[in-house]
Structure 1
Amino acid sequence: MTKPVIKPWLIRDRQFIWGDRTYLMGVLNVTPDSFSDGGKFNSCDAAIKQVEQMLPYIDILDIGGESTRPNAEAVSAAEECDRVLPIIKALRDAYPQLPISVDTMKASVAKEAIAVGADILNDVSAGRFDPEMLPLVGKLQVPIFLMHMQGEPRTMQLKPHYRHVVQDIKQFLNDAILVAKACGIPKHLIAIDPGIGFGKNLEHNLEIIKNLSVFQDIGAPLLLGVSRKTFIGKLCDRPEPSDRLLGTIAACGACIAGGADILRVHDPKEIAEACRVSDAIYR
């Protein structure tokens, strides 16, 4: 099947030409309880220092103020804003041309984040948890990542079940795009994410990665977030997320082979080298 041509994104001074190469989204969690790096970067100084190290390797910075790890508790919009807004402001001042994505399920947080300098919305609920999210994006006309998640963070890993995991997720994403378009979001501003680890067990995650080509005919940029995920820890017997770099590199290579356009990663320096090799082979 020939992959559809997808209109490029132009964000600040950067053009994202889908299919040209693999783009990297660097993760910056400004939370006390994220699964891998909670509490490390929730001050402006620490965040700026971390981004300074990532800057040569990333194309987008993704900032999140609410943990979506399994069993995570929800936080209020006010608390989430208190966490992310000062850091978005500081990073926008420090790096004026860096595309910034805000990882949130709340329209009020998204609105404030865009107002202080964020460019993109990354909603792991695909707009389902806040009925105001998609209409807001339609009004703002900014890019959005729509992700599949079965259940919610507190419950998603209890007993995930699918009839046919890949086809079920593809149908969900197609439906999510239709809803987004009905809210005024142009198709070319929508990217999709099958949601590795979000309501999936080990076998589900492997099945998705093995069959990424199924998502190509949706005609949207494809984001994969496999970095340091639990399935890698299980396969490699690495209980600590920070010890999963080598497994992450292998998973990222498989995602590129399957047609991923963007990888969301914690270790962009190392993953960037893996991308260059995989791009040379598969693109």
Structure 2
Amino acid sequence: MGLRLGARTVADTDLLVMAIVNRTPDSFYDGGETFGLQAAIDKATRAVDEGADIVDIGGVKAGPGEEVTVQMEIDRVGPVVVALRERHPAIVISVDTYRADVAREVIALGCDLVNEAWGGADPQIASVVAETGAALVCSHAGGLPPRTDPDRPQYDDVVADVINTCTSLADKAVAAGVRRDGILIDPCHDFGKNTFHSLEITRRLDELVATGWPVLVALSNKDFVGESLDVGLYDRLPGTLAATVYSAMKGAQVFRAHNVVETRQALDMVSVIRGDRPPKNARRAL
């Protein structure tokens, strides 16, 4: 179907790193390290220098926590969008939000992609994206309301449920006027799922790819990685990279990541092995 994000046309062989910048005081991974405006701007800028193709800016913690109003969310993410757009006019800027009112404001400020991770919880979000010509992530959260944790989720076939939900949302988005080449689907590992569900989705990721919609995966330091290896939050990078490479080989194209340098190198190695690009500096025995 092709994919166009902002000014960038994405080739079928491209593997894109989506860097995470959370302007929240209570993120599960960074614990508020980039809650300050300048810290968030600096991290976003550094992510571009480290090889990120997309910078994803969030203003609300995914899980339960303090209430964040629409205006608070705009005030958190908006200035980062503006600063990053000024410094890097060509970079793809994403905002992680499930609210149509937030999406409208940040797109006006320079956001190219709305990363909606709660299964279309706000039914107006597709219309807002359609009006502006931006791009949209259509996701699977198992029917959970935003910012809630799953409690013993059950599926007859989790992959079938993901495919049905994501493709239905994508089709509705197209019907609402969203560009067909501006839609990605995300199975949302851990959202509305236990570890066995997330592993099953990863194993069968090629079935999502076979739908024809470009696939985004958010694997970085997730609980399913930690539980699979029985390691703590800050020891999950090797497992994350293994899942990243596996997902790339299964056909995923966009990888949301905390660790930009390591993820970029892992994906570049996949590209070289596949023959999509030459080695950067081949000298051995030549």
Same fold, TM-score > 0.5, yes or no: yes
Aligned-partner Cα distance in 1 for 2:52–2:140: 24
Aligned partner of 1:66 among 60, 70, 78? 60
Q: Is 1:139 the equivalent of 2:131?
A: yes
Aligned-partner Cα distance in 2 for 1:62–1:10: 13
Aligned-partner Cα distance in 1 for 2:67–2:217: 23
Show the counterpart of 1:234: 227
Aligned-pair identity in percent equals 36
Shift of 1:120: 1.0
Show the counterpart of 1:252: 244
Q: Is 1:161 the equivalent of 2:154?
A: yes
Show the counterpart of 1:95: 88
Residue 155 to residue 103, structure 1, CA distance change in 2 (3 Å)? closer
Shift of 1:145: 0.8
Q: How does 1:160-179 map to 2 (within 5 A)?
A: 160-179=153-172
Aligned partner of 1:270 among 255, 259, 262? 262
Deviation by residue 1:220-273 (Cα, 9 ceiling, x = unmatched) = 110000000011111222222x32111111110111111101100000101111
Deviation by residue 1:150-200 (Cα, 9 ceiling, x = unmatched) = 113443321211110101111111211121122111322111001111011
Show the counterpart of 1:3: none
Shift of 1:276: 1.4
Contact 2:22 2:34 in 1 (8 A): yes
TM-score, reference length from structure 1: 0.91
Shift of 1:36: 0.6
Shift of 1:119: 1.1
Contact 1:30 1:63 in 2 (8 A): yes
Question: Counterpart of 2:4 in structure 1: which amino acid?
Answer: W
Instruction: Please list every run of 5 or more consecutive structure 1 residues that lacks an aligned counterpart in the other structure.
Output: 1-5
Residue 130 to residue 8, structure 1, CA distance change in 2 (3 Å)? closer
Show the counterpart of 2:283: none
Residue 179 to residue 74, structure 1, CA distance change in 2 (3 Å)? farther
Shift of 1:74: 4.8
Q: How does 1:108-127 map to 2 (within 5 A)?
A: 108-127=101-120
Show the counterpart of 1:9: 4
Residue 227 to residue 136, structure 1, CA distance change in 2 (3 Å)? same
Show the counterpart of 2:253: 261
Aligned residues, how many? Answer: 273
Deviation by residue 1:71-91 (Cα, 9 ceiling, x = unmatched) = 345521111112111221122
User: Which contiguous aligned blocks of 4+ residues in structure 1 show a shift greater than 3 angstroms?
Assistant: 71-74, 153-156
> SS at the partner of 2:210?
helix
Show the counterpart of 1:29: 22
Question: Counterpart of 1:11 in structure 2: which amino acid?
Answer: G
Shift of 1:29: 0.6
CA root-mean-square deviation: 1.6
Instruction: Please list every run of 5 or more consecutive structure 2 residues that lacks an aligned counterpart in the other structure.
Output: 277-286
Question: Counterpart of 1:77 in structure 2: which amino acid?
Answer: V
Aligned-partner Cα distance in 1 for 2:174–2:247: 27
Shift of 1:42: 2.0
Contact 1:43 1:87 in 2 (8 A): no
